Structure 1
């Protein structure tokens, strides 16, 4: 468990650094102009799920690389295959981002907001392609037992993004954000590429695509990306449902959602760090032992975050809202939000465990069930019981996923060491 904690800590710090960079961008734009901030929010509403789907697809590389930790150079052909797959998924995501102005105009977004977007979608689409070009560098480094190396690209990206945003936004507006995003992403990609080359002990190089091997990667990676899209899409519907309640409750829901993101950082870092251990396990007992250790650490991390929120909630909430009524509403719903987050942390570990077993398609089916029920219930629940009902519904959906993912992991892990999983 100590080894898992050491592996998870750099990933946790990397996630925090990335969140800080994004917060700097939002803060600078908020002070620059309201319309500019609104335009940025609309573009990132597509960029975030597109980027998460690309990153989700790249995480599917982990179980293929982990077996080569003792002979990293032998993983080079797999890394080459992953680049072809990541570029394909990145291209799809980039096209979606480029189309944001058309989508926004067709859905009734005010014209001044659409015009304010300018070149931003193109810069962000290019940055998504840059991310895809790394071929899942973070996943490769984690799988090879080099989690500390993941921290440096993220730190470079966060520092460059924050600094350039502060300098470029006043004269250039959203174009400045786009330039800052692309430059910071390119700098991070260079650092990540160097780290992967060092971990592998040789250059990756290029080769013709091996269709069969790429399809095998896709069978794990694409369902993982689909799981991410389902979660983002359903949570978007939940946010829409919250918007049908009062203005105070809508604002409270937005704050609770933001706090959930911070709470989940610890569990997600532990879940990612556990993938190589589960993938390399020689037998069912080893896979389940690694999964239990990850689940325990994830729950402990969530409890630690919950303790901070409950202990310093009043002071922390002042950073998110000046409205006392909103803060009071958030304070009252904190225990319910923390329960939903705790269950989400537990199911996330099981989901990553299934990915390590190359069974992400099973995880996708479980999400379709759990979040499918949530998306059907969201609007009626919001109209009847408000955001309190919504957070109860999310807790129930996450609880159902704990059962489904946990049962699925137990069933599929029984095959470890007996048959090839793929």
Structure 2
């Protein structure tokens, strides 16, 4: 129950963030088709860049969790995290700024590229603002302040929704850019205030500590790489689906959207479990925490899957007015749900590896698990359609469950071992589990 209580605020924060983005899409869709198309192109890169930056920031959890009982002592780590997050934020911002150039070279219609206007600059600014928080949400979770995570996201979602609705009719995409930056800045201020209160002292400024930042990077950068691998592979799968019929392409888009909604439960549980795994004194404790997280994540996913199967047509009608698309999506729903359950299980195992500071191993497993899917996606789509694609994704996720689970079991065996050796040699009372 403790893990469930810890996961609920994170889940609600994810839902709030998704709701804000949906409002933006809805407002732009009613404003102008070209404007919506331009936003879709820019936001696709923004989503990838933001996910990579956020992935890197989530690697901070295991470094902060040991200071839960003395949060003020975590301030040096928080300062190091700021330097790392700003570095990753600059890379993400540069990627967003390059969207018009890449879109033009990639054959995106000229009117769509011109419609982007200043939006890439605004959204690049937002990425830098987000990075400036230094992973505040991850740090708050690591310190056991999960409820505080909800407030910055609510401020952002409400501000983004309200400002977009007010500014888009007059300013178009520029209004979206202004809304994103203003809302992001307000959320960053709230996050900074909550973080200072959680730490019990001002964070202040300090010179960068290269060695400590490198230690953070060894966990955070592979985690960002994992996010990029997954986004890249799913992009290839979407391209492969587009080589089939229009109906099947639309059905694939609906199923992909539902998968994203289903994954919110497992991702929130996985994040909430990081401090428990990171603070475990021994292998048994780490594995016990991980089993509890995996059970809760899979249970939550199964509950949502059951609701989707039960509601069926009533849910799908929210995503498409085309009866043929809905029927195709409904026929593939069981296969999609199987893939989602396996994805939920592997996500928890992968996050557990991050808690053990072994995110590089998780990145390797992703390359092994998703590599064949990249190669096979287009041939499978041409031979077996999206039925074959979703089967292939389920198999890839199943392979990842095995790889991530085996990897966690192997690496968790080392938890507390170093402290026990030290204690045996010195006879002192060292504290196991501190890394």
After TM superposition, the score normalised by the length of structure 1 is: 0.99
How do residues 21-420 of structure 1 correspond to structure 2 at under 5 angstroms? Answer: 21-419=20-418
1:313 and 1:93 map into 2 onto residues whose CA distance is 38
- 2:423 corresponds to which residue? none
How far is the alpha carbon of 1:311 from its aligned partner?
A: 1.2
Per-residue deviation, residues 11-67 of structure 1 (Å, max 9, x unmatched): 000000001000000000000000000000100111111100000000000000000
How far is the alpha carbon of 1:170 from its aligned partner?
A: 0.4
How far is the alpha carbon of 1:162 from its aligned partner?
A: 0.4
How far is the alpha carbon of 1:419 from its aligned partner?
A: 2.4
2:215 and 2:3 map into 1 onto residues whose CA distance is 28
2:40 and 2:278 map into 1 onto residues whose CA distance is 38
1:410 and 1:365 map into 2 onto residues whose CA distance is 16
- 2:9 corresponds to which residue? 10
2:306 and 2:6 map into 1 onto residues whose CA distance is 23
How far is the alpha carbon of 1:313 from its aligned partner?
A: 1.7
1:119 and 1:304 map into 2 onto residues whose CA distance is 43
1:11 and 1:419 map into 2 onto residues whose CA distance is 33
Report the 3-state secondary structure (helix = DSSP H, G, I; strand = E; otherwise coil) of the residue aligned with 1:35: helix
When the two structures are aligned, how many residues end up with a matched partner? 421
How far is the alpha carbon of 1:312 from its aligned partner?
A: 1.1
CA RMSD of aligned residues (A): 0.8
After TM superposition, the score normalised by the length of structure 2 is: 0.96
How far is the alpha carbon of 1:175 from its aligned partner?
A: 0.3
For the pair shown, which has the larger CA radius of gyration, 1 or 2?
A: 2
How far is the alpha carbon of 1:373 from its aligned partner?
A: 1.0
How far is the alpha carbon of 1:214 from its aligned partner?
A: 0.1
How far is the alpha carbon of 1:133 from its aligned partner?
A: 0.1
Structure 2: tracts of 5 or more residues without a match: 420-433
2:323 and 2:418 map into 1 onto residues whose CA distance is 59
How far is the alpha carbon of 1:3 from its aligned partner?
A: 0.7
Report the 3-state secondary structure (helix = DSSP H, G, I; strand = E; otherwise coil) of the residue aligned with 2:204: coil
How far is the alpha carbon of 1:383 from its aligned partner?
A: 0.4
